Structure 1
């Protein structure tokens, strides 16, 4: 039975450890993911601010470039003949160098078309602009001396319009910003333009690209950051050119800032959802053999004039910031914490099991020791009882001779007194032999002798006992009786011999044993308020362990019995023990 209890205890402990580890694992995983998410959101806020500052700076810088292009147009007009036919390519090349711009092109209106008629770049000459939407409409408005109404990311000033940096229709590998000036004094539109390298250098030094690059390099977990155009992601907008090639529009490019090389299967879906639902989304997928944790954060820029448009050329009011991080970093932290916790739990479990094993061994040893002591007491008390009987038998002849001598001498009064004392002693021994249980009889006989030596008046009443078949319960009943009597003796020994009184009543009623013991106690009413049955509590002044009454209570409860204590009078304390025997 004890072995089964031990196995059950181990099983319960192991189960609790496994449940605890599982709960801790998922709680820690959730906490780390939430912490990592908050960290990325904080990082996103920094990037958002940097992008906004970069955008505002770039917009201001680009506006300044537009003003420079207008100034260059006016300067070129003063330097050139107002008739386009009288202007040479060499003049335009020299003027471009002096004005420090990439090239100058002159646009001429021919019938229903507007063409590039003269240019410092020979590859431009003769190109039609019919397919340049919305540029062609702007050129027509300029030639008509109308205020340019096309505001597709354009910059309008008097007699001038400049579009955003865009991929060249004639040089697909280059990005330029063009300015167009016409005041009616010439028969052509003056078109100076500059390379994107100027703005690109500005962005590289002061803009969001620099911050993004630094954040990626500084962080162990950040793999990639990108600002996404949700309307054109992932392919962008491409337009066929005259020579059959595809031209990608710079202002409609799918990646505004950063890089997009870590591609997850559901990126497009999550970019669109984040943009449409205006909610931060998270996605965990495998990419290149790695677990990637990616955030999709909508950033709102309404009325801020950000230079990105949808597929129809309309300005967007938001973009989506994506931050890809290495989920293995989270897993590594989680595994380290779990490993550390596991080691701690294993060590604590081993220590706990060792303590439990030691406690059980100690309990078993203590129990065996108590049984051994009870058995030894049982043997001693049985021997004492048998010794009394043998002594009576041994002295029987002497008693008979004494009775005969008193009778012959006619000492009748002495004879009566002698036989009375003799029969009382024999009756006392026989009474305890007839109790019904030799061990209990021996214990009570021993305690009577002990009371006589302590000068304690002990009155015993035992009735109705039929305990021959109690088996192992006898040891427990004797432990209860022994501890109750010893406790009573310890209390009355505090007082004068004249009031050292102990009354013991043991009775079997049906299938229950009731033991009531009353002893002198001058502070009985106060003592009943104390925790008398608590292990370690003692009213003795000398070195007592305070275990006697605690043992009585534990034995009674083991047999589903009960123990009560009360004051029968101010100077009498009574303990009652009720133990079912069935």
Structure 2
């Protein structure tokens, strides 16, 4: 048999809700994670930049301290060299020609200076004529720029005229600088000339000979300490403003050098070089006055470079700090790991809560769907018990309202249909009753007369005669009651055991079934021996008999399987009376028309039997209809409410 199937659910609303909530949480976690990762990364970069700024401030303080210390030592050494110059003048003859180099070496040792050189003017130069250092002898100063100008001013008795270095009466001292005779040395010189000699006295100190100078004036020790103690700092370099500019080079006797004051890298070590990028960021930092940062990939290492400008009172410079970006990526990896664990836990929790929430939403919807299915199966009195104040509650109320309106519509439809043919039905029934009255009366009289004429009838014969008499009385009563029902639509209701009533109907039709070689069976699946309802026993009995007779008649003589099964069961506050036959079936388009008057397909049939069944079912507040049908048989179900009062159909 083919099922009268409702649309099949392909994807449950429950799983849709779960999928939507789970997907929404997944999107929220993805967006939130991305945002959090981005913010965390920016915060880490800002923290690294802040660390770079703090280090730059520390280095700036060290540079200032170094410059202050260097200035102090420079002044202190300058004074010492001036005193030494005066002492040297008193111990030397006024002409340099009378001074020996050995004499200068001994005098240097006595005065505690690194060396002494005597400079004498020539026609176009000022040269070293005597010195404790052989490399200084014959040294030309004409190519020394500001130093040469300072020497000329000193010889002219105007040492203060120069703005380079420091000057006092008869004395001028330049800053620490590379020695022209040996550029690898950084020395401090003093120059004295008071006009009593034909030479300039030049005592000097070599930087490496000054105790503690590296600790006092060097920034490099601080930079080395920072790099050694900070694992994420790879290198620090203090870049001169002339970094990448062509520096001033000095040369003497084929040796070329850059003075210490013009070195591109003032302090620290310039490593992880990406020259074009570094120059661009250095220039931008000096021009804007703000720190510039960039990620770079150098020597298979990803680094973060920070260029912090220092635009103080002195010459501007830029502190370059190179940090290991892998430490930041490692922290971000740990953060992503923690976020993944937390996100997974939230997704599991979301799935559980979604399942619970979906169940709370779909459970009442399932009850509503079941009620709608019952209405579709012609149980128009189906009711939904959903106590909610939301949209689902409103939907349930609308379904209940629809059910009530359908019942009212059926009442009205019954009135209209009966109103169209009730007169003809009454006339036909009266004529039928009149025509049947004579043979039924004759049957009753013969059933009563035969035992008197034949007192020796057997028990079986007497049983048959009793059945004939009961059947004739039932036929008279049904015809009479049906005529009355058509006229006024009233039921004679009383308490009745419906299980027994259906069983009696099966018993009445058993002889007809046997005559047609049909197996007629009855099954009580209510779980109770008795089910009492307030019904019109005769009319309901007649309706069930009509269903059984139609089921038996639907089985053709050539059908191998010849069965009619009658089942009584209770489902959802209803009593279901199912009649299932193995007949030829009913076409789907005729399922609703078989209960309309005069629509019989039987030869010589009036089409009133199933109409009568439908009217009786509706009058009792129930329905009757086809559940399923196919060429292998038909399943018809009568539904009777267990609680509702019968509906009185007015004529």
Q: TM-score, normalised by structure 2?
A: 0.55
Tell me, in whole angstroms, the C-alpha distance in 1 between the residues paired with 2:539 and 2:345. Answer: 62
Match of 2:259 among 226, 246, 249: 249
Deviations 1:470-517 (A, max 9, x none): 99xxxxxxxxx99xx9xxxxxxxxxxxxxxxxx99x9xxxxxxxxxxx
Match of 2:192 among 181, 185, 190: 181
Tell me, in whole angstroms, the C-alpha distance in 1 between the residues paired with 2:624 and 2:499. Answer: 23
Rg bigger for which structure? 2
Contact 2:115–2:132, Cα closer than 8 Å, also in 1: yes
Deviation for aligned residue 1:8: 4.7
Tell me, in whole angstroms, the C-alpha distance in 2 between the residues paired with 1:72 and 1:469. Answer: 133
Match of 1:335 in 2: 333
Match of 1:286 in 2: 297
Contact 2:120–2:129, Cα closer than 8 Å, also in 1: yes
Quick one: structure 1 residues 334 and 234, their matched pair in 2 at CA, closer, same or farther if it must change by over 3 Å?
same
Quick one: structure 1 residues 86 and 368, their matched pair in 2 at CA, closer, same or farther if it must change by over 3 Å?
same
| 12-21 or 141-150, larger mean C-alpha shift | 12-21
Tell me, in whole angstroms, the C-alpha distance in 1 between the residues paired with 2:495 and 2:626. Answer: 22
| Matching of residue 268 in structure 1 with residue 279 in structure 2 | yes
- Within a 5 Å distance, the mapping from 1:474-553 to structure 2 comes to none
**Structure 1: tracts of 5 or more residues without a match:** 307-315, 397-423, 446-461, 472-480, 486-502, 507-582
Deviation for aligned residue 1:185: 1.1
Match of 2:121 among 109, 121, 135: 109
Q: TM-score, normalised by structure 1?
A: 0.61
Deviation for aligned residue 1:165: 0.8
Contact 2:22–2:347, Cα closer than 8 Å, also in 1: no
Match of 1:145 among 125, 139, 157: 157
Match of 2:64 among 45, 52, 55: 52
Contact 1:159–1:181, Cα closer than 8 Å, also in 2: yes
Quick one: structure 1 residues 470 and 61, their matched pair in 2 at CA, closer, same or farther if it must change by over 3 Å?
farther
Match of 1:557 in 2: none
Deviation for aligned residue 1:117: 0.7
Tell me, in whole angstroms, the C-alpha distance in 2 between the residues paired with 1:33 and 1:347. Answer: 29
Match of 1:195 in 2: 206
Tell me, in whole angstroms, the C-alpha distance in 2 between the residues paired with 1:49 and 1:467. Answer: 100
Tell me, in whole angstroms, the C-alpha distance in 2 between the residues paired with 1:92 and 1:206. Answer: 30
Quick one: structure 1 residues 335 and 131, their matched pair in 2 at CA, closer, same or farther if it must change by over 3 Å?
same
Deviation for aligned residue 1:74: 0.8
Match of 1:66 in 2: 78
Tell me, in whole angstroms, the C-alpha distance in 1 between the residues paired with 2:496 and 2:228. Answer: 98
Tell me, in whole angstroms, the C-alpha distance in 1 between the residues paired with 2:74 and 2:626. Answer: 107
Deviation for aligned residue 1:240: 4.3
Match of 2:225 in 1: 214
Provide the aligned C-alpha RMSD in A.
4.5
Contact 1:164–1:251, Cα closer than 8 Å, also in 2: no
Tell me, in whole angstroms, the C-alpha distance in 2 between the residues paired with 1:350 and 1:129. Answer: 84
Tell me, in whole angstroms, the C-alpha distance in 1 between the residues paired with 2:626 and 2:268. Answer: 89
Tell me, in whole angstroms, the C-alpha distance in 2 between the residues paired with 1:61 and 1:430. Answer: 131
- Structure with bigger RCO (C-alpha 8 Å, 6+ apart): 2
Match of 2:464 in 1: none
Alignment partner of 2:162: what SS? coil
Contact 2:66–2:216, Cα closer than 8 Å, also in 1: no
Match of 2:47 among 26, 31, 35: 35
Give the aligned length: 413
Tell me, in whole angstroms, the C-alpha distance in 2 between the residues paired with 1:49 and 1:430. Answer: 113
Match of 1:324 in 2: 322
Quick one: structure 1 residues 387 and 331, their matched pair in 2 at CA, closer, same or farther if it must change by over 3 Å?
farther
Deviation for aligned residue 1:196: 1.6
| Matching of residue 127 in structure 1 with residue 127 in structure 2 | no
Tell me, in whole angstroms, the C-alpha distance in 1 between the residues paired with 2:115 and 2:623. Answer: 124
Match of 1:81 in 2: 93
Contact 1:58–1:199, Cα closer than 8 Å, also in 2: no
Quick one: structure 1 residues 387 and 115, their matched pair in 2 at CA, closer, same or farther if it must change by over 3 Å?
farther
Quick one: structure 1 residues 429 and 144, their matched pair in 2 at CA, closer, same or farther if it must change by over 3 Å?
farther
Tell me, in whole angstroms, the C-alpha distance in 2 between the residues paired with 1:430 and 1:246. Answer: 132
Contact 1:236–1:249, Cα closer than 8 Å, also in 2: no
Q: Which runs of 4+ in 1 moved over 4 A?
A: 3-10, 357-376, 385-396, 424-431, 438-445, 465-471
Tell me, in whole angstroms, the C-alpha distance in 1 between the residues paired with 2:120 and 2:502. Answer: 154
Match of 2:423 in 1: none
